[in-house]
Amino acid sequence: MYLKLAWRNIWRNKRRSIITIVSITFAVLLACTMRSMQLGSYERMIENSARFFTGYIQVHQNGFWDDRMVDNSMSEDAELIQLIEQTEGVEVAVPRVESFALASYGMKTKGAMVLGIDPEKEDQLTLVKSKMIEGEYLKPDDKAVLVAEGLAEYLKVGIGDSLVLISQGYHGANSAGIYPIKGIMKFNGPIQNDQTVYIPLAESQWFYAMEGRLTSIALVIDKAKHVDRIVTSISNEVDTAQLEVMGWEELMPEIVQGIEVDDVSGRIMLWILYAVIGFGMFGTFLMMTAERMYEFGVMVSIGMRKWAMQVVIILEMGIMSAFGVIAGILISLPALIYFYNNPVFFGGEMGQTIESFGYEAAYFFSVDAVIFYNQAWAIFIMATILGFYPIYVIRKLKPVSAMREA
Amino acid sequence: MSVILAKNLTKIYQETAVPVKALNNLSLEVTEGEFTAVVGPSGCGKTTLLNVLGGLDSPTEGTVELAGTDITQMKESKLIDFRLRNIGFVFQAYNLIPVLTTLENIEFIMLLQKVDKATRNKRSLELMREMGIEDKASKRPSQLSGGQQQRVAVARALASKPKFILADEPTANLDSVSTANLLDIMAKLNREEKATFVFSTHDQRVIDKARRVVTLEDGAIVSDEIRQ
């Protein structure tokens, strides 16, 4: 009976109920879209940096990550690599030599991040083969380099040109080499795209005069959410006085902080949106309550318990909120799935401007279930809080006053 | 046996700048099966008396015993429950639940009393037949005339077989034909079901049908006439 009363009460003023439901629908639609774009950009940022660059986990000599000099490198230990690869959740341990060098061609010079890689293993980590836009991929014994597109454009180099690398090697040795460019890669992240040079691992060890040494071991893992567990497992197995095991959040705290700061602004926008919708919903509940005071008075007079009337009101608000939330999710879901699979890229000057700030010139979307789940909860909590008003009014209701004043 | 026993009722409204004494040391006893009209000029305290007798309002002084139970000190939730089980109300403005049909409105109080479905249906159909509204079972209040709505309101008040029915100006919004019909029905229910009616009115046709007429003036009883 309570459900029947609530249902019919909702439709006794169809226009008002529909407006309320539609306003909730739009709020959910807008909130889901905003949140999807925000989380999508975070996922992309993490993916570009962690999944396709540093790896979700790295193992180094203690202190290397704070002071990334080849002097802080570690021994290339086959047993250590085997031990790491045997840890549950680790698929491949990818040895690397990471350092900086000046890359020069003709009259142009630029600072570059030089990555000494095992070509096959590295591809399993960063899918680097898929980033090749010109030339050929590296072989382990090549004495050549791959250059990122942005850097190649700056230096005005192409396939077959000779790139000069100058740096400081292990224990202060001078490092200088001239390498033919075997391929050009395109990275999504503008910073990586403007700085990266790949060189076979053995050649990098020779270049930095650090044969038999590595700066880091990056890991391919089964699932990103297993990072903390795998970090703990490896830390328990290795000598942590000598080695550091770091997850991506520790490797790139600036990304975590950037996301946190941006997330706060996103949440503020969401709260503003909720406040606007909340006032709209409150207006409806206020009218719903005011125009039925007489009826409430009659119902109490004839013997309806106040809690039963409160249940009816809560059901009315719950049904309208649920309709709005479900409609909002049903409308936003297919659209967001589409944009998740087809990100919106910016071309032309707008794209260049965005990239000049170090961002990828595109909108990426997330379809993480938590986005929809959170909106549903937010509206539910808001309706519950607003529901206190009619509940309070009914609680305080005096039948004679209610009927007289109405 | 008295179903209503009001002793020394005084009701003073303090909401206005000058306190208004709506009931002034009023005592009244109503026995089972009575058909009583409370009459008097506007503002004499008729509605206040019915509200106090029905437990909708509390007296400033005095006590009200309904079917042997003192309701003046009763907690609100118990009082609501007491009203549900013992009192039927008929209001001037019908006050049916607009989203329910005639049948559902009549069943509503029985539903609150948790009466089983078969009994509810039987009683509702019986009352609709007596009221002559059996063909309006599926109509909503907005689809009924004033007279029909008031008959539904009386049927609703009687559905739970209350100890007595309080009716505040039940014919005030009705035309003469509807008034005559409603009075005939109420008189018949009073005779055949022994339903006790107390109603406020200043409609002479209603007063003529009453077997007891209590006249109020300035919140006090000035005459109490019992007719044969």
The tokens for A200 are: 């076979």
CB contact under 8 A, A302 and B85: no
Q: Are A121 and A95 in contact (CB under 8 A)?
A: yes
Residue that is last in its domain, among A214, A239, A264 = A239
Q: Are A210 and A274 within one domain?
A: no
Q: Which residues of chain B have pLDDT under 70?
A: 228
**Same domain, yes or no: A223 and A262:** no
List the Cα angle B38/B42/B47 in 5-degree steps: 50
Which of A5, A7, A301, A310 would best serve as a mutation to test chain B binding (most B beta carbons within 10 A)?
Answer: A301
Residue A139 pLDDT exceeds 90: yes
d(CA A248, CA A56): 5
User: Treating both helix axes as pointing N-terminal to C-terminal, what angle do B176-192 and B117-131 enclose, rounded to 10 degrees?
Assistant: 130
Report the distance separating Cα B228 and Cα B224, nearest Å: 13
* Mean pLDDT computed over A74-78: 90
Residue B81 to residue A8, Cβ atoms within 8 A? no
- Closest Cα in chain A, distance from residue B199 (Å): 16
What would the two tokens of residue A349 be? 């000057």
Residues of B with Cβ-Cβ distance to A299 under 8 angstroms: 97
Q: Is residue A324 part of a domain?
A: yes
Residue A210 in domain: yes
Question: Which pTM value belongs to this model?
Answer: 0.70
**Read out DSSP for B41-100?**
STTSSHHHHHHHHTTSS--SEEEEEETTEE-TT--HHHHHHHHHHHEEEE-TT----TTS
A46: confidence class by pLDDT, cuts 50, 70, 90:
confident
The letter for the amino acid at A394 is I
The pLDDT value recorded for residue A152 is: 96
- Measured between beta carbons, the chain A residues lying within 8 angstroms of B56 are 301, 399-400
Task: Write down the pLDDT at residue B215.
Answer: 92
Q: Return all residues near A14 (Cβ < 8 A) that are at least 6 apart.
A: none
- Domains in chain A, number: 2
Q: Are residues A227 and A281 in the same domain?
A: no
Q: Which of A239, A265, A299 is the last residue of a domain?
A: A239
- Under 8 Å CB pairs connecting chains A and B tally to 55
User: Does residue A53 fall inside a structural domain?
Assistant: no
Chain A contact present for B85, CB below 8 A: yes
- The pLDDT-based confidence of A73 (bands split at 50, 70, 90) is very high
Q: Does A294 touch chain B (CB under 8 A)?
A: yes
State yes or no: pLDDT of A356 exceeds 70: no
CB within 8 Å: B83 and A302: yes
CATH of the domain at B204: 3.40.50.300
CA distances from B31 to A196, B163, B227 (A): 102, 10, 14
Domain count, chain B: 1
Q: Kindly report the number of other CB atoms within 10 A of residue B163's CB atom.
A: 16
Range(s) of the domain holding residue B131 = 2-226
User: Which of B:152-171 have CB within 8 Å of A?
Assistant: 156-157
Segments forming the whole domain that contains residue A169: 63-239
| A397 shares its domain with A268 | yes
> Cα separations (Å) of B16 from A142, A163, A287, B43, B219?
100, 97, 27, 15, 17
The answer to whether residues A85 and A232 belong to one domain is yes
Bigger pLDDT: B101 or A53?
Answer: B101
Is A54 among the domain residues?
Answer: no
pLDDT given for residue A160 in this prediction = 94
Beta-carbon contacts of B34 under 8 Å, excluding residues fewer than 6 positions away, are B196, B197, B198, B211, B212
Could you give phi then psi for residue A305, rounded to 5 degrees? -65, 150
Task: Round to whole Å and give the CA distance between B167 and B197.
Answer: 7
Question: Quick count: other Cβ atoms within 10 Å of Cβ A106?
Answer: 10
Last residue of a domain, one of A209, A239, A269: A239
Q: Do A400 and B83 touch (CB under 8 A)?
A: no
- CB contacts, 8 Å: A403 with chain B: 91
- Residue A129 belongs to some domain of the structure: yes
**Confidence tier at A357 by pLDDT (50, 70, 90):** low
pLDDT at A372 over 70: yes
Q: Are residues A268 and A328 located together in one domain of the fold?
A: yes
In this structure, are A73 and A153 located in the same domain? yes
> Does B84 touch chain A if contact means CB atoms closer than 8 Å?
yes
Under the banding of pLDDT at 50, 70 and 90, the label for residue A231 is very high
Q: Where are the strands (E) in A248-353, listed by range?
A: 344-345
Chosen from B95, B96, B105, B150 to mutate, greatest number of chain A CBs within 10 A: B95
Distance from CA of B99 to the nearest CA of A (A): 6
Indicate whether A27 and A101 sit together in one domain.
Answer: no
What is the DSSP secondary-structure string of A94-160?
Answer: EEEEEEEEEEEETTEEEEEEEEEE-HHHHHHHH-GGGGEEEE----TT---EEEEHHHHHHHT--TT
pLDDT (0 to 100) of residue A213: 93
User: A246-273 burial, b for 16+ CB within 10 Å, e for fewer?
Assistant: bbbbebbeebeeebeeeeeebeeebeeb
> In this complex, do A301 and B111 lie within 8 Å of one another by their Cβ atoms?
no
pLDDT at position B228 is 67
Whether residue A337 lies inside any domain: the answer is: yes
Same domain? A225 vs A361:
no
A406 has a pLDDT exceeding 60: no
Residues A235 and A97 in one domain: yes
Residue A392 lies in a domain: yes
The complex scores an ipTM of: 0.81
Q: Are residues A70 and A123 in the same domain?
A: yes
CB-based contact B112 A308, cutoff 8 Å: yes
Q: How much is the average pLDDT of A372-379?
A: 86
* A400: chain B residues, CB-CB within 8 Å: 51, 56-57
The answer to the question of residue A71 being in a domain is yes
Distance CA B156, CA A304 (A): 13
Cβ distance A400 to B97 less than 8 Å, yes or no, reads no
Q: Which pLDDT belongs to residue A326?
A: 92
Q: Which residues, in sequence order, are bridge partners of residue A110?
A: A103
A354 band by pLDDT with thresholds 50, 70 and 90: low
What b/e readout covers A130-143, taking b as 16+ CB neighbours within 10 angstroms? Answer: ebbebbebbeeebe
Whether A311 contacts chain B with CB within 8 A: no
Same domain, A183 and A267: no
pLDDT band at A181 (very low <50, low <70, confident <90, very high): very high
Say if residue A60's pLDDT is above 60: yes
Percentage above 70 pLDDT, chain A: 98
pLDDT value for A358:
58
